[in-house]
Amino acid sequence: MTVITDAAENVAGAGVSGSGRVRRLTGGDKIVLGLMVGVPTLLHVALVWVPTLVSILLSFSQWDGIGGLATIKWVGVQNYTTMFTVSPTFWPAVQHNIIWLVFFVLLPTPFGMFLAYQLDKSIRFTRFYQTAIFLPVVISAAVTGFIWQTIYDPDNGLVNSILGTNKPGTSYIEWLGDSHLNLWAVLVAASWRQAAYIMILYLAGLKGFDPALREAAALDGATEWQAFTRVTFPALRPINIIILVVTIIESLRAFDLVYVVAGTNGTKPGLELLSILIANNILGESSLVGYGSALAVVLLVISLVPIVSYVFQTFRKDQQA
Amino acid sequence: MTAVAEVTAAAASRPAPVQRRKRVRPARVVLHVFLAVTALVWLVPLVWAVYTSLRTFADTSAHGYFSLASSLTFENYENAWEQAGLPQYFLNSVIITVPAVLVTLLFSASVAFFVSRFNFKVNLFLLMLFTAGNLLPPQVIITPLFRMYLLIPLPDWLSNGSGLMYNSFLGVILIHVAFQSGFCTFVLSNYMKTIPHELTEAALVDGASVFRQFWQIILPLCRPAFAALATLLTIWIYNDFFWGLVLFETGADRPITSAIASLQGQYFSNQNLIAAGALMTAIPTLVIYLALQRQFVSGLTLGANKG
């Protein structure tokens, strides 16, 4: 500690100038500030925003990644044409991402909000309920995948054992193998996490909400539903926006759970997602840099909608202040 | 630390509606039944996995998995631990997580200090840049990042022998820092804005340099936020699957969360072993969560409450 402070004094120099008057920022201070903001920003830009831009650039190219940078061929919008018209996996992936989002918006997110609303009513055992329901968020999505594999396993899984549908030939449900079923099975597993995550976020929002408002509504004869929809919900606009953004972003980011339950290489018919297709272009046998980048650009464009609206919404107030 | 506890405690002990009636209302009973059932349903997958992991393969193959166990044993855990070489992967996770968390906090605190204590024109832009970057799906940047990592040479001592950023712990640590510092900068700058400016001004009058103001005045005051963020970051980074999977060529250097995917099939031949391996992976995060629940939750809410 002392060593560091001594060094700091040396680096920053004296804060007080010769005349005894306080200068706002000495030269040393400026260097320190420059480093403090420069190094992290440089790292962030170099590893996040530069690749984002390069992704756009590379999406107009063809490159197998084997030769050097000189072997990159520029092919215009060919990757996009292939993606939109030829690729057998692109549209299913888009469709699955949309289903994922709609499902999240309609089921686990409102359910998580509902749980939060109930848990906020200063009831007994609320700690226990919260801890139990929140556990899935602490467990990684990958481990969640393994846990749900033991639930969905066609021969030995919990679901088929209970339903008696674990007899090959007569009645047999392959929850994760059947391409008409597996997306829904995975969505249930993902909802296990999502609802809990939303619950805790919304609970935080509700804690900051003045209960007097709700009580006033109740005194005025509002039903609980009316009080929620007309008083609580509108008052929690900022947290509602966060929850919407989190839900959209989580739907676009969905990867780990699907990759794990899909088994080798993370691909299985019925479980294509944009994120999975992009990763396949890196982990798989065929490394199509240009095509993978074009997929990434599609994901980027979709993601920018919630990101930009959220960022502007959040920081507009700061600017006015 | 105490401040966080106080905040949460204050929030929790918010003036409850005065209880005039001791009578149990039917609505309350319904609510408790609903919450208890939900909590139990939520625990079922976990309990099932634990149950499976504690049974021997012989037992389950003889009686099926949906049966009463003839005996419970930690055998699967021992086997998973030894056969699959789990200690190595756990060590990899520690090597990645600890520096990533510390550097993320240091970097975010620096940027947050800059944007919250000084009125520069770039502040808003910086915050927007970091926040937006943090929200990007990692898959958007992975293709060029992967190629970049293959092109950046590193000395052997930094790259665990690969000679490249690819396959190195450093590469994974840096991408975690770059990504997570978005969220943490946002949270910390909001936190620092609540610290009165008089404090640093007084220090300035006493001749303290900017670095001293940062290190000796602002940072100690941010301890509650650090505790919360450190808990959150540790769990997030430890739980990362994607970077660990893509940025390492082979399993040997992968952190445990990413490694279990490749261990499946290779070592984990039956459900009992898979369940044991997966649950062991989750133990550190579960312990951290149960021990530091308040920090974890307040970390999430620090980010959520200001919007």
Asked whether the beta carbons of residue B64 and residue A241 sit closer than 8 angstroms, the reply is no
| Mean pLDDT to the nearest integer, B205-216 | 86
Residue type at A170 in one-letter notation: T
Q: Are strands A166-167 and A73-74 parallel, antiparallel or unpaired?
A: unpaired
Mean pLDDT taken over chain B: 84
CB contact under 8 A, B307 and A292: no
Model pLDDT for residues A195-214, shown as the tens digit of each residue: 999 998 898 888 878 778 87
* Range A59-79 average pLDDT: 86
Whether A245 has its CB under 8 Å from any CB of chain B: the answer is yes
The CA distance from A215 to the nearest CA of chain B, in Å, is: 9
pLDDT tens digit string along B24-72? 688 888 999 999 999 999 999 999 999 989 988 777 777 777 777 777 8
pLDDT band at B140 (very low <50, low <70, confident <90, very high): very high
Query: Poorest-confidence range of A85-94, B99-108, B116-125, B171-180?
Result: B116-125
Average pLDDT over residues B221-234: 91
State the DSSP H helix or E strand holding residue A167, giving kind and residue range, or none if neither: strand A166-167
pLDDT of A58 > 70? The answer is yes
Indicate the residue of A48, A249, A259 with minimum beta-carbon distance to B179. A48
pLDDT for the residue A29: 85
* pLDDT tens, residue by residue, B5-22: 333 444 444 444 554 555
The answer to whether B277 and B80 are in contact (CB under 8 A) is yes
Question: Residue B23's pLDDT is what?
Answer: 65
* Segment holding A61, helix H or strand E: strand A61-62
CATH classification code of B85-263: 1.10.3720.10
Residue that wins the pLDDT comparison between B269 and B253? B253
pLDDT at A34 exceeding the cut of 60: yes
Partner residue facing B132 (CB), from A5, A132, A311: A311
Contact A39 B148 (CB under 8 A): no
- In chain A, residues with a C-beta closer than 8 Å to the C-beta of B271 are 149-150, 153, 156
Nearest 5°: the CA angle B287, A126, B49 is 45
- pLDDT above 70 coverage of chain B, percent: 89
Average pLDDT over residues B88-110: 96
Size of the A and B interface in Cβ pairs below 8 Å: 348
HSE value, Cβ hemisphere, 13 Å, CA-based, for B88: 12
Specify the pLDDT at position A319.
56
Residue ranges per domain, chain A?
1-42, 76-320
Is residue A166 over pLDDT 90?
no
CA nearest to A260, candidates A163, A145, A102, A121: A145
What does the pLDDT read at residue B303? 63
Which residue from B143, B210, B239 is facing A29, i.e. has the nearest CB?
A: B210
CB contact under 8 A, B185 and A123: no
| Best residue of A57, A125, A156 to probe chain B, by most B CBs closer than 10 Å | A156
What pTM, to 2 d.p., does this model score? 0.87
Q: Report CB contact under 8 Å: B42, A192.
A: yes
ipTM, two decimals: 0.86
* CA–CA distance, B81 with B79 (Å, rounded to integer): 5
Q: Is the pLDDT of residue B259 over 60?
A: yes
Flag whether pLDDT at A21 surpasses 90.
Answer: no
pLDDT at A14 over 60: no
Q: Are strands A166-167 and A171-172 parallel, antiparallel or unpaired?
A: antiparallel
Q: Does the structure show a pLDDT above 50 at A6? A: no
Q: Band of the pLDDT at B4, cuts 50, 70, 90?
A: very low
Please give the pLDDT value at position B43: 94
Residue A155 has pLDDT above 90, yes or no: no
pLDDT above 80: residue A67: no
Report the pLDDT averaged over residues A93-100: 95
Per CATH, the architecture of A76-320 is what?
Orthogonal Bundle (1.10)
Closest to A183 (Cα-Cα) out of A155, A143, A162, A152: A152
Whether the per-residue pLDDT at A59 is higher than 90: the answer is yes
CA distance B18 to chain A (A): 11
Q: Which of B 197-216 lie inside 8 A of A, CB atoms?
A: 204-212, 214-216
Please return the burial class of B196, using the count of CB atoms within 10 Å of its CB with bins 0-12, 13-18 and 19+. exposed
- The pLDDT of residue A2 is 37
User: What is the share, in percent, of chain A residues with pLDDT greater than 70?
Assistant: 89
Q: What is the pLDDT of residues B157-187, one digit of tens each?
A: 777 777 888 989 999 999 999 999 988 998 8
B 8-27 → A contacts, CB under 8 A: 11-12, 14-17
C-alpha to C-alpha distance for B296 and B215, rounded to whole angstroms: 24
Is there a contact between B43 and A135 if contact means CB atoms under 8 Å apart?
yes
The answer to whether the Cβ–Cβ distance between B277 and A29 falls below 8 Å is no
pLDDT: which is higher, A279 or A208? A279
* CB proximity A86 to B under 8 Å: no
Can you give the pLDDT at residue B7?
Answer: 38
Mean pLDDT, rounded, for A140-154 = 91
Q: 3-class DSSP state for residue A148? A: helix
Neighboring chain A residues of B279 at a CB cutoff of 8 Å: 143, 147
Q: Does A44 touch chain B (CB under 8 A)?
A: yes
CB contact under 8 A, B307 and A147: no
State whether residue B261 sits within 8 Å of chain A by CB. Answer: yes
Average pLDDT value for residue range A105-124: 91
Residues A46, B42: C-beta atoms closer than 8 Å: no
**pLDDT above 60: residue A157:** yes
Nearest neighbour of A48 by CB, restricted to B126, B141, B301: B141
Instruction: With CA atoms as reference, report the closest residue to B213 among A198, A248, A9.
Output: A9
- Domain range summary for chain B, segments of one domain joined by +: 25-78, 85-263
Please indicate if any CB of chain B lies within 8 Å of the CB of A121.
yes
